[in-house]
Amino acid sequence: MRCFIISSSIQQCQCGRMISPYLAQIALRRMSSQKEADEDSCGFLPQKSGYATAAVHVAQEPEKQGGAVVPPITMSSTFKFKSLTEPLNNFIYGRLGNPMRDTLEQCLASLEGGKVGFAFASGMGAISATALLLNKGDHLISNEDVYGGTYTLFSEFIPRLGVEVTFIDMMDPNNLEKAIKKNTKMVYFETPTNPSIKVIDIEVTVKQVKKHGNIMVVVDNTFLGSYLQRPLDFGADIVLYSLTKFMNGNSDVILGGAIVNDAGIAERLRFIQRIVGIIPSPFDCYLVNRSLKTLAIRMERHKVTSLAIAKWLYFHPQIRDVMHPGLETHMQQHIAKKQSTGHSGVFSFAHFGNLKNSEKLCAALKVFTLAVSLGGHESLIEIPSQMTHKLVPEDVKKRLGITDNVIRVSVGLEDYKDLIEDLEQALLVAFCEK
């Protein structure tokens, strides 16, 4: 039966459920001013000053020939030599280096508080290049709650190179302690995790790993970006990104990144980047470099809007759980507060229904778009069990809680009230229509 309106603020379906679109008015009120938004950020790390300035100016010197304030795109595949053994301006061949790629890499490193940045053809390219730091006989430990593509890379491809891979639940430090072996050379994890939004303590993990020797700690920071979290500050060796997501923020580029401090790791990673050839085009580098200029203001909007929606969902009678570190009910909020300045626009929630309800919910949405990826200006929604994590084995998905009633959203830059109204009407369709 279809739901029918019985008042301007309360709706009822034939099954007798009362569903208020603004059941918790605080969820709609609290984000109405910057002051109130700041109050919701209390407890998280303070935002470091100078980030937005660095994004605009680091490695962005005006072009010398014409004085253009926007660094030009250099499309040349090869570059002139001054002599037989000396390049004219340190550039030789497009695969080895490009002025625009160099500009982007310098800016990425600065924003991360790192020394050396790398741009790759995709986020998976960055992860693959990092995995190639390992040699035959080495051991890689990965958190099992990772992006589906990463899980497939580590489970299907990396073992072919003679690298042993162990997946564990890193929420329990004892699991990590038991998994570390004499040949362990790398520990990899996302935080927050995808799609469960669990928060792993970076500093505690690094200290635990480093007790066992020179083991590289690699953190995928895609979900928060360097504006909200900087893993290098907590001892991580390599920070990885799908720059496609929040760092670019316009859903028009496929590009990945890596930032490191250690000169030895940087030298090896540069060699892999150049020889394997997992490089982005100059135009794609230009697009991401452009987008970094608005990253700070975009992330503030994502942060405020996603928390408002998460609070509204928390009070909805058909919602079982909301996985958002900004909520006090999140199990690892205390960890998030000590290593990040807030949370981004991506989070997940679970409803009381099944796959059919999830499908009806997604189909009924008018503002949210059913699509994978995240971090763009438009709001996206997906069912991880059927989309981003479809290739993950069923037993692993079940263990991780990636069930058919779990929905992941990426909140864009639209008005949050419009997004809440869209979710409200879609939930009514999903649970009150037969």
d(CA 7, CA 223): 39
pLDDT for 32? 47
263 in the same domain as 282: yes
The whole domain housing 281 covers 51-294
Asked if 137 and 231 sit in the same domain, the reply is yes
Instruction: Give me the active site residues, please.
Output: 95, 147, 220, 245
pLDDT at 41: 62
Specify whether 286 is located in the same domain as 324.
no
Classify residue 14 by its DSSP letter.
T
Relative to beta strand 18-19, strand 11-12 is antiparallel
Whichever domain contains 338, its CATH number is: 3.90.1150.10
For residue 322, report the phi and psi dihedrals to the nearest 5 degrees.
-125, 120
Q: CATH code at 201? A: 3.40.640.10
Pick the last residue of a domain from 294, 315, 333: 294
Eight-class DSSP state of 154: I
pTM above 0.75, yes or no: yes
Same domain, 223 and 354: no
Over residues 153-169, the pLDDT tens digits come to: 999 999 999 999 999 99
Provide Rg for the chain, Cα atoms: 23
Q: What is the pLDDT at residue 65?
A: 73
Boundary residue ending a domain (277, 294, 311): 294
- Measured CA to CA, the distance from residue 94 to residue 81 in angstroms comes to 14
- The pLDDT value recorded for residue 40 is 60
**Residue ranges in the chain modelled with pLDDT below 70:** 1-41, 433-434
Distance CA 227, CA 238 (A): 17
Angle, alpha carbons 269-272-278 (nearest 5°): 110
Q: What's the confidence (pLDDT) of residue 66?
A: 82
> What are φ and ψ of residue 323, in 5° steps?
-100, 85
Overall number of domains in the chain: 2
249 close to 291: Cβ distance less than 8 angstroms: yes
- The residues facing 410 across adjacent strands are 346, 380
Are 238 and 351 in the same domain?
A: no
Q: Are residues 19 and 91 in the same domain?
A: no
Around Cβ 202, how many Cβ atoms within 10 Å? 26
Distance between CA 42 and CA 38 in Å, rounded? 7
